[in-house]
Amino acid sequence: MNTPHKGLDITTAKSSRLDQVDFDNLVFGKYYADHMMICDYKDGAWQTPQIMPYGPMEMEPSSKVFHYGQAVFEGMKAFKDADDKVWLFRPEDNFNRINISSKRMAIPEFPKEYFFDALNTLLKLDSEWIKKGDGNSLYIRPFAIGTEYGVSASPSNEYKFIIICCPAKAYYSTPVKVLISDHYSRSADGGVGYAKAAGNYGASFYPTNLAKEKGYQQVIWTDANTHEYLEEAGTMNVFFRIGDKLITAPTSDRILDGVTRKSIIDLAKHEGIDVEVRRIKVGEIVEAAKNGTLKEIFGTGTAATIAQISGFEQDGTFYDLPEVENPYNVKLKKMLQDIQYNRAEDPFDWRYAVETK
Ligand SMILES: *Cc1c(COP(=O)(O)O)cnc(C)c1O
C-alpha cells in the first residue's frame, strides 16, 4: 500500500515480525520494529520522507560517512501507559539537539514537521511494539549520515535522515564500578563533545575496553587539559552527592547537554534538594570518599535513565561507596519514570502525547 500521508510516503510492511520477538529475554538492539523512516537530502533539499518496512539498504562503498564519519544520532524513548496511550519525553529537545549536532558536523538541519510527522506515523504503525510496564519502552534512534559517493575529503552533498526503533527493557540493573580517566579524553575544548557525533562513541570504545580489562564497566571522563575535573560517565552525564548536596558539571563544548541530566536537576530542585551546577575536581570526590561524605554517584541518560555507580578507581586506589538510606538516585529515577509512564502529574509539561488511534 502506498499512501501519501501528511507529506510522508508510506509503504507498510506486508506482515509483522512482532511474533519473532522474545520479550521475556529481550536483548537490546536485536530486534527492530516493522517500520522505519528514510528521508533523502539531495539537490540542496530534504525530499519527501519515506516510511517503509525496516530492512537493509544499499550504499556506495565510497559513501562519505564510511570514510570521514559524517554521522550524528539521537536516542529517545516512547512509553505506553496503563490505558495504552503512548508518550514521548521532551522530544523537542532531541529534535533541537540533533540539529545542533548536525550543524557541528556540517550536515544540513532536518525540518521539524518531518521529524514529528515521522515519529507519530512510526509509533502509530508500530504501537504494538511498545510494551506496557515499568522499564519497558520503544527506543527510538534517529540518525543522519553523509551518503554521497566519492572519497574526496569534503562534506557530503547528499544525506539520509533515518529513524529506526527497537524495543527496550530496563538497562544496567546492577550498580557499576568506574575508572576515572587520567590519560584518555572523550572531548576537548573546541571539539565535538557536545554533539551526538558517532565518532565520539567510536573513540571511547578503546579506553572503555581497557577499563573493562581492569574490572570496570565504564570510564569517568575528565577534562582533556588537566584531567582534574570530572565531566561525564561513559555516555552519560554524571552526578555526585556529597553530604546532601547534588553536584553536576555545567554543560560546555565538551559535555553533552543531556535531556535526562536537566530533568534530574529540575526534579531534584523540585524536591528541595540542594543542587550545584559547577565544575567538580577529582580531588574533591576522593577527599569526600575518604571522609565519608561522598554518598552517591550516578550517571543519567535516556538508555539507563539513572545508573547507580557503586565505586571508582582513581590513581590505582579503589573507593567503594557505602550503602545509603533513601538514596537520591532511586527517588529521582522513580519521579522521572512516573512522569514518563504517565503515572504522575507532569508539572514541567515534559510529556508529549502521540496520536496512535
Ligand atoms: C546521549 C548522551 C548523554 C545523555 O543524554 P540524554 O539526552 O539524557 O539521553 C550524555 N552524555 C553523552 C556523551 C551522550 O552521548
Domains (ranges, CATH) in the chain?
2-168 (3.30.470.10), 176-340 (3.20.10.10)
Which ligand 1 atom is at minimum distance from the Cα of 232?
Answer: 11
- Which of 43, 49, 42 shows the shortest CA–CA distance to 113? 49
Instruction: Kindly indicate the confidence band of residue 172, based on its pLDDT and cuts at 50, 70 and 90.
Output: low
Measured distance CA(288)–CA(296) in Å, rounded = 11
- Biggest CA-to-CA distance, the chain: 67
257 alpha carbon to ligand 1 midpoint, in Å? 7
pLDDT over threshold 70, residue 126 = yes
Residue 357: per-residue pLDDT: 78
Measured distance CA(47)–CA(244) in Å, rounded = 52
Supply angle C-alpha 187, 244, 250, rounded to 5. 25
Pocket of ligand 1 (CB under 6 A): 75, 196, 232, 235-237, 256, 258-261, 300-302
149 alpha carbon to ligand 1 midpoint, in Å? 30
- Rounded to an integer, the average pLDDT of 67-91 is 98
pTM reported for the whole predicted model? 0.96
pLDDT over threshold 50, residue 108 = yes
Which ligand 1 atom is at minimum distance from the Cα of 75?
Answer: 9
Arithmetic mean of pLDDT over the chain: 96
200 alpha carbon to ligand 1 midpoint, in Å? 11
237 alpha carbon to ligand 1 midpoint, in Å? 6
Measured distance CA(356)–CA(353) in Å, rounded = 9
CA 354 to each of CA 73, 119, 160: distance values in angstroms, whole numbers, following the listed order:
21, 8, 24
Measured distance CA(80)–CA(351) in Å, rounded = 12
Instruction: Kindly indicate the confidence band of residue 5, based on its pLDDT and cuts at 50, 70 and 90.
Output: low
352 alpha carbon to ligand 1 midpoint, in Å? 20
